[in-house]
Protein backbone atom coordinates (compact mmCIF):
# COMPACT_ATOMS: atom_id res chain seq x y z
CA UNK A 1 0.00 0.00 0.00
CA UNK A 2 2.53 2.60 1.14
CA UNK A 3 6.31 2.52 1.20
CA UNK A 4 8.39 0.99 3.94
CA UNK A 5 8.97 4.30 5.66
CA UNK A 6 6.17 6.31 7.24
CA UNK A 7 8.13 9.54 7.38
CA UNK A 8 11.61 9.89 5.87
CA UNK A 9 11.93 13.22 7.68
CA UNK A 10 11.39 11.54 11.06
CA UNK A 11 14.12 9.00 10.40
CA UNK A 12 16.51 11.71 9.23
CA UNK A 13 15.84 13.77 12.37
CA UNK A 14 16.44 10.69 14.49
CA UNK A 15 19.72 10.12 12.67
CA UNK A 16 20.96 13.63 13.39
CA UNK A 17 19.80 13.25 17.03
CA UNK A 18 17.56 16.29 16.73
CA UNK A 19 15.53 17.82 19.55
CA UNK A 20 12.23 19.53 18.80
CA UNK A 21 8.69 19.10 17.56
CA UNK A 22 7.72 17.43 14.28
CA UNK A 23 4.43 19.00 13.24
CA UNK A 24 2.21 17.04 10.90
CA UNK A 25 -1.35 17.51 9.77
CA UNK A 26 -2.82 15.01 12.24
CA UNK A 27 -0.52 15.40 15.18
CA UNK A 28 2.85 16.31 16.63
CA UNK A 29 5.82 14.15 17.62
CA UNK A 30 8.32 15.49 20.16
CA UNK A 31 11.93 14.38 19.87
CA UNK A 32 14.75 14.61 22.34
CA UNK A 33 18.18 13.79 20.96
CA UNK A 34 16.60 11.83 18.15
CA UNK A 35 14.33 9.71 20.35
CA UNK A 36 10.58 10.17 20.58
CA UNK A 37 9.53 11.35 24.03
CA UNK A 38 5.96 12.51 23.46
CA UNK A 39 3.21 12.59 20.85
CA UNK A 40 -0.08 14.39 20.55
CA UNK A 41 -2.96 14.11 18.12
CA UNK A 42 -6.46 15.56 18.13
CA UNK A 43 -7.59 12.02 17.24
CA UNK A 44 -6.11 10.40 20.36
CA UNK A 45 -7.01 10.95 24.04
CA UNK A 46 -4.04 12.27 26.01
CA UNK A 47 -2.57 10.96 29.26
CA UNK A 48 -4.92 13.29 31.16
CA UNK A 49 -8.00 11.64 29.62
CA UNK A 50 -6.67 8.11 30.16
CA UNK A 51 -5.88 8.81 33.81
CA UNK A 52 -8.94 10.85 34.74
CA UNK A 53 -11.72 9.11 32.72
CA UNK A 54 -11.94 6.14 35.06
CA UNK A 55 -11.54 8.27 38.19
CA UNK A 56 -7.95 7.14 38.74
CA UNK A 57 -6.81 10.72 39.01
CA UNK A 58 -9.18 13.55 39.93
CA UNK A 59 -9.26 16.31 37.35
CA UNK A 60 -8.03 18.75 40.03
CA UNK A 61 -5.00 16.53 40.67
CA UNK A 62 -4.08 16.70 37.01
CA UNK A 63 -4.58 20.46 36.95
CA UNK A 64 -2.39 20.87 40.03
CA UNK A 65 0.44 18.90 38.39
CA UNK A 66 0.20 21.04 35.24
CA UNK A 67 0.18 24.27 37.27
CA UNK A 68 3.08 23.29 39.51
CA UNK A 69 5.35 21.48 37.06
CA UNK A 70 4.21 22.47 33.58
CA UNK A 71 6.51 25.46 33.32
CA UNK A 72 9.60 23.37 33.99
CA UNK A 73 8.40 20.53 31.75
CA UNK A 74 8.10 17.92 34.50
CA UNK A 75 4.38 17.11 34.85
CA UNK A 76 4.92 13.36 34.61
CA UNK A 77 7.68 13.49 37.20
CA UNK A 78 5.45 15.57 39.51
CA UNK A 79 2.56 13.09 39.26
CA UNK A 80 4.87 10.29 40.42
CA UNK A 81 6.77 12.27 43.08
CA UNK A 82 3.56 13.57 44.65
CA UNK A 83 2.28 10.00 44.91
CA UNK A 84 -0.64 10.59 42.52
CA UNK A 85 0.42 7.89 40.08
CA UNK A 86 2.86 4.98 40.36
CA UNK A 87 6.04 5.10 38.27
CA UNK A 88 5.21 1.96 36.32
CA UNK A 89 1.63 3.06 35.86
CA UNK A 90 2.71 6.37 34.41
CA UNK A 91 5.05 4.59 31.99
CA UNK A 92 2.31 2.21 30.85
CA UNK A 93 -0.17 5.05 30.44
CA UNK A 94 2.24 7.45 28.74
CA UNK A 95 3.64 4.88 26.31
CA UNK A 96 0.10 3.84 25.42
CA UNK A 97 -0.90 7.44 24.73
CA UNK A 98 2.31 8.16 22.83
CA UNK A 99 2.10 5.23 20.40
CA UNK A 100 -1.61 5.99 20.00
CA UNK A 101 -1.06 9.64 19.05
CA UNK A 102 1.92 8.70 16.85
CA UNK A 103 -0.25 6.28 14.89
CA UNK A 104 -2.60 9.13 13.92
CA UNK A 105 0.13 11.75 13.52
CA UNK A 106 1.93 9.49 11.05
CA UNK A 107 -1.24 8.72 9.08
CA UNK A 108 -0.59 8.67 5.31
CA UNK A 109 -3.15 11.42 4.68
CA UNK A 110 -1.04 13.86 6.68
CA UNK A 111 -0.21 17.14 4.96
CA UNK A 112 2.90 19.28 5.27
CA UNK A 113 5.59 18.33 7.77
CA UNK A 114 7.56 20.95 9.64
CA UNK A 115 10.15 20.63 12.37
CA UNK A 116 10.71 23.21 15.07
CA UNK A 117 14.12 22.74 16.62
CA UNK A 118 14.54 23.02 20.37
CA UNK A 119 10.87 22.69 21.32
CA UNK A 120 10.13 20.41 24.28
CA UNK A 121 6.74 19.28 25.56
CA UNK A 122 5.62 20.45 28.99
CA UNK A 123 4.73 16.92 30.10
CA UNK A 124 8.41 16.00 30.31
CA UNK A 125 10.25 12.84 29.40
CA UNK A 126 8.96 9.52 30.71
CA UNK A 127 10.38 6.71 28.58
CA UNK A 128 12.00 7.67 25.27
CA UNK A 129 11.45 5.33 22.33
CA UNK A 130 13.47 5.11 19.12
CA UNK A 131 11.88 6.67 16.03
CA UNK A 132 12.40 3.39 14.18
CA UNK A 133 10.36 1.52 16.79
CA UNK A 134 7.51 4.03 16.49
CA UNK A 135 7.59 3.72 12.69
CA UNK A 136 7.54 -0.07 12.81
CA UNK A 137 4.67 -0.07 15.30
CA UNK A 138 2.66 2.40 13.22
CA UNK A 139 3.02 0.20 10.12
CA UNK A 140 2.17 -2.91 12.13
CA UNK A 141 -0.98 -1.24 13.45
CA UNK A 142 -2.18 -0.29 9.97
CA UNK A 143 -1.73 -3.86 8.80
CA UNK A 144 -3.37 -5.23 11.93
CA UNK A 145 -6.55 -3.18 11.40
CA UNK A 146 -6.90 -4.44 7.85
CA UNK A 147 -6.09 -8.01 8.82
CA UNK A 148 -8.92 -7.97 11.38
CA UNK A 149 -11.63 -6.44 9.16
CA UNK A 150 -10.61 -4.55 6.00
CA UNK A 151 -13.42 -1.96 6.08
CA UNK A 152 -12.17 1.50 6.96
CA UNK A 153 -15.72 2.83 7.08
CA UNK A 154 -16.27 1.49 10.61
CA UNK A 155 -13.44 3.70 11.95
CA UNK A 156 -15.31 6.99 11.58
CA UNK A 157 -19.01 6.03 11.46
CA UNK A 158 -21.20 6.05 14.59
CA UNK A 159 -20.99 2.62 16.23
CA UNK A 160 -24.28 0.73 15.88
CA UNK A 161 -24.49 -2.42 17.99
CA UNK A 162 -26.17 -5.56 16.66
CA UNK A 163 -27.69 -8.24 18.85
CA UNK A 164 -25.43 -11.24 19.41
CA UNK A 165 -26.34 -14.45 17.60
CA UNK A 166 -27.73 -17.22 19.80
CA UNK A 167 -24.87 -18.65 21.81
CA UNK A 168 -22.48 -15.88 20.79
CA UNK A 169 -20.61 -14.47 23.78
CA UNK A 170 -19.68 -10.86 24.31
CA UNK A 171 -16.57 -10.29 26.39
CA UNK A 172 -16.07 -7.95 29.32
CA UNK A 173 -14.26 -5.20 27.42
CA UNK A 174 -16.57 -5.56 24.43
CA UNK A 175 -19.58 -5.08 26.73
CA UNK A 176 -18.08 -1.85 28.08
CA UNK A 177 -17.61 -0.60 24.53
CA UNK A 178 -21.03 -1.71 23.26
CA UNK A 179 -22.72 -0.07 26.25
CA UNK A 180 -21.44 3.24 24.85
CA UNK A 181 -22.67 2.51 21.31
CA UNK A 182 -25.84 4.61 21.24
CA UNK A 183 -25.91 5.05 17.47
CA UNK A 184 -24.36 8.54 17.60
CA UNK A 185 -20.95 8.01 19.19
CA UNK A 186 -18.04 7.30 16.85
CA UNK A 187 -15.18 5.00 17.93
CA UNK A 188 -13.17 8.12 18.83
CA UNK A 189 -15.96 9.45 21.07
CA UNK A 190 -16.18 6.06 22.79
CA UNK A 191 -12.41 6.06 23.35
CA UNK A 192 -12.70 9.41 25.12
CA UNK A 193 -15.63 8.32 27.27
CA UNK A 194 -14.00 5.06 28.36
CA UNK A 195 -10.51 6.54 28.71
CA UNK A 196 -8.99 4.07 26.29
CA UNK A 197 -6.49 4.78 23.50
CA UNK A 198 -8.23 5.61 20.21
CA UNK A 199 -6.39 2.90 18.26
CA UNK A 200 -7.49 0.27 20.79
CA UNK A 201 -11.08 1.34 20.26
CA UNK A 202 -10.72 1.26 16.46
CA UNK A 203 -9.26 -2.21 16.71
CA UNK A 204 -12.00 -3.42 19.06
CA UNK A 205 -14.69 -1.96 16.80
CA UNK A 206 -13.17 -3.72 13.78
CA UNK A 207 -13.08 -6.97 15.77
CA UNK A 208 -16.72 -6.47 16.78
CA UNK A 209 -17.67 -5.69 13.18
CA UNK A 210 -15.88 -8.83 12.01
CA UNK A 211 -17.89 -10.79 14.59
CA UNK A 212 -21.12 -9.20 13.37
CA UNK A 213 -21.72 -7.37 16.66
CA UNK A 214 -21.37 -3.93 15.07
CA UNK A 215 -22.78 -2.68 11.75
CA UNK A 216 -20.37 -2.16 8.87
CA UNK A 217 -21.55 0.91 6.92
CA UNK A 218 -21.68 0.59 3.14
CA UNK A 219 -19.56 2.73 0.85
CA UNK A 220 -16.21 4.43 1.19
CA UNK A 221 -15.19 6.08 4.48
CA UNK A 222 -15.71 9.80 4.95
CA UNK A 223 -12.67 11.90 4.17
CA UNK A 224 -11.23 13.37 7.36
CA UNK A 225 -11.89 17.10 7.44
CA UNK A 226 -9.07 19.55 6.94
CA UNK A 227 -6.70 17.16 5.20
CA UNK A 228 -4.67 18.71 2.39
CA UNK A 229 -4.15 16.91 -0.93
CA UNK A 230 -1.59 14.11 -0.71
CA UNK A 231 0.81 15.70 -3.21
CA UNK A 232 1.58 18.45 -0.67
CA UNK A 233 2.80 15.87 1.79
CA UNK A 234 4.69 14.03 -0.91
CA UNK A 235 6.77 17.12 -1.56
CA UNK A 236 7.19 18.62 1.88
CA UNK A 237 7.63 15.26 3.56
CA UNK A 238 11.07 14.94 2.10
CA UNK A 239 12.38 18.30 0.89
CA UNK A 240 15.37 17.84 -1.38
CA UNK A 241 17.51 20.67 0.00
CA UNK A 242 20.26 20.28 -2.59
CA UNK A 243 17.75 20.45 -5.42
CA UNK A 244 16.13 23.55 -3.90
CA UNK A 245 19.53 25.23 -3.58
CA UNK A 246 20.33 24.49 -7.22
CA UNK A 247 16.95 25.92 -8.22
CA UNK A 248 17.53 29.05 -6.17
CA UNK A 249 21.02 29.51 -7.56
CA UNK A 250 19.77 29.05 -11.10
CA UNK A 251 16.98 31.58 -10.52
CA UNK A 252 19.37 34.11 -9.01
CA UNK A 253 21.77 33.66 -11.92
CA UNK A 254 19.06 34.50 -14.44
CA UNK A 255 17.94 37.66 -12.62
Compute CA distances 15 → 47, 115, 241, whole Å. 28, 14, 17
HSE-up of residue 208 (Cα within 13 Å, Cβ side): 30
Contact stretch for other proteins (CB under 8 A) within 25-33, 63-71, 176-184, 226-234:
176-184
Sheet with strand 20-24: strands edge to edge:
114-117, 20-24, 27-32, 35-40, 129-130
In angstroms, the CA 34 to CA 212 distance is: 43
Binding flags for other proteins, 199-218, as an x/- string (CB under 8 A): xx--xx--------------
The minimum distance between CB 246 and other proteins, in angstroms, equals 41
According to CB under 8 A, which one of 176, 189, 217, 232 is a site residue for other proteins?
A: 176
Q: Which is nearer to other proteins, 11 or 144 (CB)?
A: 144
User: Residue 174 interacts with other proteins (CB under 8 A)?
Assistant: yes
Interface with other proteins by CB under 8 A: which range of 6-14, 108-116, 162-170, 239-247?
Answer: 162-170
Among 36, 74, 93, 188, binds other proteins (CB under 8 A): 93
Candidates 11, 95, 211, 227; binder of other proteins (CB under 8 A) is: 95
The residue (of 121 and 196) whose beta carbon lies closer to other proteins is 196
d(CA 80, CA 59): 16
User: Which parts of 116-135 interact with other proteins (CB under 8 A)?
Assistant: 127, 133
Q: Is 183 in the site for other proteins (CB under 8 A)?
A: yes
Residue 163 interacting with other proteins (CB under 8 A):
yes
Least gap, CB of 17 to other proteins (angstroms): 22
**Is position 169 an interface residue for other proteins (rule: CB under 8 A)?**
yes
Closest CA to 127 of 80, 163, 63, 184: 80
Which SS3 state, helix, strand or coil, does residue 11 take? helix
Q: What b/e string do you get for 120-150 counting C-beta neighbours within 10 Å, with b at 16 or more?
A: bbebbbbebbebeebbebbbebbeebeebbe
Among 66-74, 116-124, 157-165, 242-250, which window interacts with other proteins (CB under 8 A)?
Answer: 157-165
Smallest distance from other proteins to CB 118, Å? 28
Cβ-based neighbours of 35, under 8 Å, separated by 6 or more? 14, 128, 129, 130, 131
How far is it, in rounded angstroms, from Cα 163 to Cα 145? 23
Contact between 59 and other proteins by CB under 8 A: the answer reads no
Rounded to 10 degrees, the C-alpha dihedral 42/46/52/54 comes to 80
Using CB under 8 A, list all residues that contact other proteins.
50-51, 53-54, 56-57, 80, 86-89, 91-93, 95-96, 99, 127, 133, 136-137, 140-141, 144, 160-161, 163, 169-176, 178-183, 194-197, 199-200, 203-204
Amino acid sequence: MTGRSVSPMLLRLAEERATGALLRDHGTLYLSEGRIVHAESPAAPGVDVLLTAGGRLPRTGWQEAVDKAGARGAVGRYLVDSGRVGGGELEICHLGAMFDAAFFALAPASGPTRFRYGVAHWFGTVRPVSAAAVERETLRRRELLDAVWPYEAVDSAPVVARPPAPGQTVTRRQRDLLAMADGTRSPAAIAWTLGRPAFHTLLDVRRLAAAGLVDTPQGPPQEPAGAVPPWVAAISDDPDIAQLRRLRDALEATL
